[in-house]
Amino acid sequence: MAGTPLIVLIAAPAVAVAGSLAGRGARLAEALNLAASIVAFIAAVGLVAVAATGAPRTWWADYILLDVTGAWVILCAAVVYLLASIYAVGYMRLLGEEERLPRFYALFAAFALTVFVGPLMNNAGLYWIAIELTTLVSTFLVAFERDAGSMEAAWKYIIVVSAGISVALLGTVILYWGGSLVLGPTYDLTWATLRGAAPKINPGILTLAFLLVLVGYGTKVGLAPMHTWLPDAHSESPAPVSAMLSGALLNTALLGIVRFLSIVDASETGALPRDAFIGLGLFSVLVGALFIVRQRGIKRLMAYSSVEHMGIMALGFGFGGPLGVAGALYHMLNHSLNKSLMFFGAGNAMRSYGTKRIGGIGDVMGRFPTQGGLWLAGAAAITGAPPFGLFLSELAILRAGFHGQYDWVVYAMAILLIVIFIGFLNHFRIMYYEGTDGGEYPTTVVSSLWCVAPMWLALLPLLIFGVWWPQGFTSYFALVSQALSGVQP
């Protein structure tokens, strides 16, 4: 019975893929994808409940793993998949691509499927394959609109990310070689096996392997300076795809670094691996801040915000301890909700004003007050302002840094967060309280319920989680912290 939610989670998007390809109509494809997202979300909640009840479970000759860390990443991905699928019904109809919509929804469900599969891989090599599959599927989604910008972004995405995760593959191979010196020429490349062997593996080999993995998977996560694909891919993709890239895919890639860090922590490699992780996290926040302040494109603004927030999560996991892990996991959920809201609002604005430029958008609140209010609330939330969920998660991560030896990192992070708050909201001041670049406002307003309802569904939990940190989350995060430190429940 414990495996039932897992089977449902995988089967739902798989059926949507097959049905969309076999069907003849766009309405059938969007209905199948929407139904799959609802079923997948329910299954993901079930997986979290199952994972919290005991030790990690494995299936299929130990190739499939369900543990508390992976289950949480899947839940965050399922939340975004559900919200983005609702939004896609309204948004994709605006593109005038009815004949191609079945193909879009087949790819969209396949993308969700690959994101779900990654955290379930109990083999470091298979996990790498799963991450590569996410790249192959999502590349076609990035290029879906088939204009010059989206095609260029797709090529840049697949080249940069594939090069990056090739480095991760090299790190995995080196780690396997280091393990072979201890366990023999052949052994199971499971996370538990690697962690158990880590104390006996040469520390230099472990450190080298982790640094390669950090750079490799860090490219997919969007950590600076390996983030160069992210602004283009996020800004040129259809808005539902941008939400999935930012709120689901990046978390799945980050999980790989966290799992490898757990392996390294079991050995005596010194502080270099964790310091490198923290360093890239802080540098990502810095790069995000600098580009957010000077940004001119609305979706690129959201993309650099993703660079910032992945850096914040890296800092949380890098600081470690129960508080750092809890802050990072809470931030992961809140960021998934918040960034979905922001890309939905950006998609509505772009379609209403016919431009991606911040300077070409004006009087947002006057033209569509409901959507404008939701988007503005999301903008305040994404900067970490109270009373929204990201405020609590960022505060927890800052506190975790003080518990270690990283006081200066905490101060630097706090200063950068203030800069981001001012810079990000200044762009919204322009769009809400200043006119467009001297031109007249267009007459089209995106007002479909499909495009507004998911904004409400994302904002309300953000507000609730900003004033109430559920005790159940605290208990669950403690289990994740124990698992990452090698303590089994």
Distance from C-alpha of 135 to C-alpha of 221, rounded to nearest angstrom: 12
Residue 440: its pLDDT value, please?
A: 60
The reported pTM is 0.96
- Asked whether the predicted pLDDT for residue 172 surpasses 70, the reply is yes
CA-derived radius of gyration, the chain: 21
pLDDT band at 351 (very low <50, low <70, confident <90, very high): confident
Residues 6+ apart with CB under 8 A from 465: 330, 333, 334, 388, 389, 392
Question: Could you give phi then psi for residue 440, rounded to 5 degrees?
Answer: -85, 155
Mean pLDDT, residues 169-193: 94
Contact present, 122 and 195 (Cβ < 8 Å): no
Q: How far is CA 111 from CA 80, 243, 368, 489, in A?
A: 12, 12, 32, 33
DSSP symbol at 2: T
pLDDT band at 481 (very low <50, low <70, confident <90, very high): very high
Distance from C-alpha of 258 to C-alpha of 435, rounded to nearest angstrom: 45
Task: Label residue 227 exposed, middle or buried (CB < 10 Å: 0-12, 13-18, 19+).
Answer: buried
pLDDT band at 149 (very low <50, low <70, confident <90, very high): confident
Across the strands, what pairs with 57?
Answer: 66
Query: Would you state the structure tokens that stand for residue 289, as one six-digit string?
Result: 């801040």
Residue 10: its pLDDT value, please?
A: 96
Q: What is the pLDDT of residues 313-337, one digit of tens each?
A: 999 999 999 999 999 999 999 999 9
Mean pLDDT, residues 195-204: 94
Mean pLDDT, residues 27-45: 96
Distance from C-alpha of 76 to C-alpha of 337, rounded to nearest angstrom: 8
pLDDT band at 442 (very low <50, low <70, confident <90, very high): low
Residue 1: its pLDDT value, please?
A: 60
- Asked whether the predicted pLDDT for residue 234 surpasses 80, the reply is yes
Residue-by-residue DSSP string for 433-458: HS--SSSPPPS-----HHHHHHHHHH
- Where is pLDDT greater, at 447 or 479? 479
Distance from C-alpha of 81 to C-alpha of 147, rounded to nearest angstrom: 25
DSSP symbol at 193: H
Question: Which range among 55-59, 288-292, 297-301, 438-442 shows the weakest confidence by mean pLDDT?
Answer: 438-442
- Asked whether the predicted pLDDT for residue 436 surpasses 60, the reply is no
Mean pLDDT, residues 240-260: 96
**Domain spans of the chain?**
4-484
List the one residue out of 303, 267, 264, 307 whose CA is nearest residue 285.
307
List the one residue out of 56, 285, 290 whose CA is nearest residue 192.
56
Distance from C-alpha of 334 to C-alpha of 389, rounded to nearest angstrom: 6
Residues 6+ apart with CB under 8 A from 479: 52, 68, 489
Distance from C-alpha of 11 to C-alpha of 446, rounded to nearest angstrom: 33
Q: What is the pLDDT of residues 90-145, one digit of tens each?
A: 999 988 888 899 999 999 999 999 999 999 999 999 999 999 999 999 999 999 98
Residue 460: its pLDDT value, please?
A: 97
Residue 94: its pLDDT value, please?
A: 87
Distance from C-alpha of 126 to C-alpha of 63, rounded to nearest angstrom: 8
Residue 445: its pLDDT value, please?
A: 63
Question: Which range among 23-27, 54-58, 341-345, 388-392 shows the weakest confidence by mean pLDDT?
Answer: 23-27
Query: Would you state the structure tokens that stand for residue 61, as one six-digit string?
Result: 């000759």
Q: How far is CA 203 from CA 199, 207, 208, 213, in A?
A: 8, 6, 9, 15
**Buried/exposed code over 183-193 (b: 16+ C-beta within 10 A; e: otherwise):** beeeeebbbbb
Q: What is the mean pLDDT of the chain?
A: 93
As a whole-number percent, the residues of the chain with pLDDT over 90 amount to: 81
Q: What is the pLDDT of residues 264-314, one digit of tens each?
A: 999 988 889 999 999 999 999 999 999 999 999 999 999 999 999 999 999
- Asked whether the predicted pLDDT for residue 437 surpasses 70, the reply is no
Residue 441: its pLDDT value, please?
A: 60
Distance from C-alpha of 194 to C-alpha of 209, rounded to nearest angstrom: 12
Question: Which range among 16-25, 74-83, 219-228, 341-350 shows the weakest confidence by mean pLDDT?
Answer: 16-25
Residue 337: its pLDDT value, please?
A: 98
Distance from C-alpha of 380 to C-alpha of 373, rounded to nearest angstrom: 11
- Asked whether the predicted pLDDT for residue 439 surpasses 60, the reply is no
List the one residue out of 273, 150, 151 whose CA is nearest residue 211.
273
- Asked whether the predicted pLDDT for residue 446 surpasses 70, the reply is no
